[in-house]
């Protein structure tokens, strides 16, 4: 039997970083290399219909092994890693029986993972941690989820004496750039309901997520020789800074938590003549989400009144919505996840997602799909880590959920 750890270590060394703002799908062809590997491994487990489609989605079905009429349950994880930090040449290292002290990730660059900065580390004293070398992200988001689902699949293929309904598996590309469901074949997936395995620490269950929009502010300046600039130059970069300063300071991510929404300036680039600001807008409350979008547009309108019509142009598009309204009619998903955790000695922790998942969009496509823990911490950066024992426990959790739905 291949362990969840072995699977994880083999997946994270594959570069599957997705790319923002490209028209092709998936956004990077290298994601398909992992897809091919996963489809092959699923076939090796004996899952006959395992395949990767033209878009890079991997689908597989473990047939029901009972004559009883049971619901079809699905499990989903994404293959791509976030473009926020490089996923190339990932060099994972196992810290055996962590002793609660600083972990030197990269001695040459003095990059240290310390409980002084991350107190969550202390919960893992005596456990085994997988960390980065300080130069890349790790990829536990969401290759941990993939590994756990694969280990769960292997368990049921090797223990055919355990009754269960049909189990559907899907691995998706481009989740990190908000496009993971763009070409997802709901009919082919065929689940009555599902779970994404794409959350954080062991015990987390999530069925509330942000409403989300992407926004781009295009600023048209006017370049002229600085010696002749008085009353004539409009510096687009400086105007962009002015736009940013008019958004509420307390609604930046670094000042928010729990259900509090935010505006995030992801990037700014340009020059005197033209500048572009890329934002994401987030809020759990649909009402406050809409208010944030209106405020955003009002700031642009106010500045256009000052600097001239069409100096500021806003392009805005909703990305996904809070799945809470789609999950609440199916609270058995949450109750059974909690029941499964308690059965294996894990304390359930129902929390809102301060982000989104493929499951949020899938819930609006007709398949209710809350999110389960995958076990990682500090996603999208060099301080990302995961506990080996947490991954092993999550495999148990997935198995137990399937068993509960077969009771």
242 is catalytic: no
Alpha helices by DSSP H, 60-135 = none
Cβ atoms 398, 374 nearer than 8 A: no
Reference 1, options 169, 144, 155, 128; nearest CA is: 155
Asked if residue 198 belongs to a known ligand binding site, the reply is yes
* Main-chain phi, psi angles of 4, to 5 degrees: -60, -35
Residue 108 among known ligand-binding residues: no
141 is in an annotated binding site: yes
**Phi, psi for residue 24 in degrees, rounded to 5:** -70, 160
Given the residues 15, 175, 208, 392, select the one marked as catalytic.
Answer: 175
How do 204-206 and 376-377 pair as beta strands? unpaired
Answer yes or no: are the C-beta atoms of 260 and 244 closer than 8 Å: no
54 is catalytic: no
Q: Is 271 annotated as a binding residue?
A: no
Residue 311 makes CB contacts below 8 A (sequence gap 6+) with 219, 220, 221, 234, 239, 303, 304
Q: Which of 80, 174, 283, 396 is catalytic?
A: 80
- Asked whether residue 258 is marked as a ligand-binding residue, the answer is no
Catalogue the E-assigned strands of 11-166.
51-52, 58-62, 73-78, 93-95, 103-106, 111-113, 129-131
- Contact status, residue 304 vs residue 311, Cβ threshold 8 Å: yes
As a whole number of Å, the end-to-end CA separation of the chain is 26
- Which phi and psi (to 5°) does residue 5 adopt? -65, -45
Binding residue positions for Zn(2+): 78, 141, 176, 198, 380
- Which residue numbers are catalytic? 80, 175
Binding residue positions: 78, 141, 176, 198, 380
């Amino acid at each position: 039997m291949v362990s969840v750890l072995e699977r994880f270590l083999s997946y994270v060394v594959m570069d599957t970083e997705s790319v923002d703002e490209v028209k092709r799908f998936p956004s990077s062809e290298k994601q398909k290399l992992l897809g091919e590997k996963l489809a092959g491994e699923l076939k090796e487990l004996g899952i006959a219909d395992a395949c990767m489609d033209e878009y890079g989605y991997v689908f597989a079905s473990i047939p029901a092994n009972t004559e009883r009429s049971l619901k079809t349950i699905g499990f989903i994880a994404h293959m791509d890693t976030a473009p926020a930090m490089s996923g190339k040449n990932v060099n994972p290292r196992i810290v055996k029986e962590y002793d609660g002290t600083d972990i030197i990730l990269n001695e040459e660059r003095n990059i240290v993972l310390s409980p002084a900065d991350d107190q969550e580390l202390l919960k893992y004293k005596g456990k085994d941690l997988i960390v980065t070398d300080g130069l890349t992200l790790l990829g536990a988001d969401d290759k941990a989820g993939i590994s756990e689902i694969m280990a769960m699949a292997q368990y049921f293929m090797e223990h055919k004496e355990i009754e269960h309904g049909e189990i559907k598996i899907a691995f998706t590309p481009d989740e990190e750039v908000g496009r993971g469901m763009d070409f997802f074949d709901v009919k082919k997936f065929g689940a009555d309901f599902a779970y994404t395995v794409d959350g954080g620490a062991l015990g987390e269950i999530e069925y509330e997520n942000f409403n989300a929009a992407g926004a781009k502010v295009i600023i048209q300046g006017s370049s002229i020789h600085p010696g002749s600039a008085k009353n004539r130059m409009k510096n687009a970069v400086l105007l962009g800074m002015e736009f940013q300063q008019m958004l509420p300071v307390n609604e930046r991510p670094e000042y928010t938590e729990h259900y509090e929404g935010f505006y995030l300036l992801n990037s700014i680039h340009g020059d005197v003549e033209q500048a572009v600001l890329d934002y994401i807008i987030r809020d759990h409350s649909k009402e406050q989400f809409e208010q944030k979008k209106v405020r955003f547009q009002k700031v642009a309108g106010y500045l256009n009144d000052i600097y001239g019509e069409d100096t500021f142009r806003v392009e805005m598009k909703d990305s996904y919505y809070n799945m809470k309204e789609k999950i609440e009619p199916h609270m058995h998903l949450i109750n059974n996840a909690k029941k499964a955790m308690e059965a294996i000695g894990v304390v359930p922790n129902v929390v809102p997602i301060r982000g989104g998942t493929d499951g949020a969009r899938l819930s609006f496509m007709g398949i209710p799909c809350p999110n389960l823990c995958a076990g990682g911490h500090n996603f999208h950066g060099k301080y990302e880590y995961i506990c080996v024992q947490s991954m092993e426990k999550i495999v148990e959790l997935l198995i137990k959920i399937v068993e509960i739905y077969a009771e």
